[in-house]
Amino acid sequence: MLKHTIYIFLLLLFVSGCNKQLSEEDKAKVAALNIELTQTNDDIKATTENYEQYSSGLIKSLIAARLEVLKTNKNLVEQRINSIESGAAVKVETLVTNPNPELAEHLQSEIQSMKQEIKIDKNEASKYSGGLILSMKLMTIATKEQSLAALQQKYLTVKYGLSSLPKIDMEIPKPIKESDPNVPLESRL
């Protein structure tokens, strides 16, 4: 009998925790984040279609890098939505940044500027049907789209206080020493 009482009490405790209502401020945040999520999903879909047009090469690699950044952005936004909806406390520590509306506005203007540059470059590239010039234009576009994805990630980080990616410590390799060309390369390293 005591077991059943404990089970019923725990069940009521869990069910009562599911009825949390969001405040108006939280509802507004979730709505804004859902708009960002929709935009990010649209970008992922368009980038995936663009990715599938290429069989290999530098352009495909740049598009793949952009796609991974966009997927990371999507996961960050979903994580923030879930934390707001679940009522999970978000502590401002090294894992989460403080929202910075001024920097977010600046980044938004940079994003719009970058989108304009990409649009101009795409119009310029459409004048060519092939060859080296078209390849260079397409690499420029892919590089700018990668930069755009990174700007969007930074924008989401500063606007909503999302987690930023950890810094990676890398050891810079030593430059190759110039020496006698008759000495094998392995010996010069």
* One pLDDT digit (tens) per residue for the chain, 189 residues: 667 677 676 666 565 555 567 778 888 888 888 998 999 999 999 999 989 988 888 888 888 988 998 998 899 888 888 888 877 766 655 455 678 888 889 999 999 999 999 999 999 999 998 888 888 999 999 999 989 988 988 888 888 777 655 555 556 555 555 556 666 656 655
pLDDT at 5: 77
* Cα distance between residue 76 and residue 93, in whole Å: 16
Number of domains in the chain: 1
Q: What is the rounded distance in angstroms from the CA atom of residue 76 to the CA atom of residue 149?
A: 13
Amino acid letter, 102: E
The 8-class DSSP code of residue 92 comes to -
Q: What is the DSSP letter of 19?
A: T
Range of the domain at 129: 24-163
**Any domain includes 132:** yes
Q: Is residue 43 part of a domain?
A: yes
- Residue 8: inside a domain: no
Q: What is the pTM of this model?
A: 0.59
Residue 55 forms part of a structural domain:
yes
Query: Residue 94: what pLDDT?
Result: 46
Rounded CA gap, 118 and 166, in Å?
Answer: 29
In a domain, 179, yes or no: no
Instruction: Answer yes or no: is 3 within a domain.
Output: no
Domain assignment of residue 172, yes or no: no
Cβ proximity of 65 and 142 under 8 Å: no
Residue 74: inside a domain:
yes
